Amino acid sequence: MATRLARAKRKIKAARIPFRVPEQHELPDRVGAVLAVVYLIYTAGQTSQAEPALCAEAIRLARILATLMRDEPEVDGLLALLLLTESRRGSRIRPDGSLALLGEQDRTLPPTRAQPPWRQRTPSGTSSSSAAERRAERTVTFRRSIVPI
């Protein structure tokens, strides 16, 4: 993976592709690709026993996007999908870590709430998100409590 990243960086540098933040009018054209990547990150976390933290990272990114792009219903839709899927994780994952088919799932288990990023802890016990991310999450949570999805 590191080799691929290094190769991609060299290619971008050689082609002199500038890195810049897109203009406001360019964002709607790019949101679909960004949401697809966030969903792929979540899916990779579900299918990989080695990287389960990817699911939490995808939810964190979707929440930040929902805060930054309040007028994009696709962002809210993705966040809702990720949170709903995450809430059923307990019934969807077998004890060995593999995914259970729908017929095998215990649908009587209550949904679990996805843990907010500021409550997630790293192995050292420190918070895994910055103060800005915690403020953004509280804003999204407050907004969602006023206008439910």
pLDDT tens per residue across span 7-16? 988 998 899 8
Which token pair is 63?
């929440």
What are 103-141's pLDDT values in tens digits?
Answer: 888 877 776 665 544 444 444 444 445 555 565 666 555
What are 40-88's pLDDT values in tens digits?
Answer: 999 988 877 667 789 999 999 999 999 988 888 999 999 999 998 888 8
Q: Report the residue count for the chain.
A: 149
CB contact set of 58 (below 8 Å; sequence gap of 6+):
38, 39, 41, 42, 45, 82
Other beta carbons within 10 angstroms of residue 41's beta carbon come to 19
Q: Taking the domains of the chain in order of start, what are their residue ranges?
A: 31-95+111-149
Output the pLDDT for position 118: 40
Output the pLDDT for position 127: 47
Q: pTM above 0.85?
A: no
Dihedral in degrees, nearest 10, Cα atoms 128, 85, 109, 48: -70
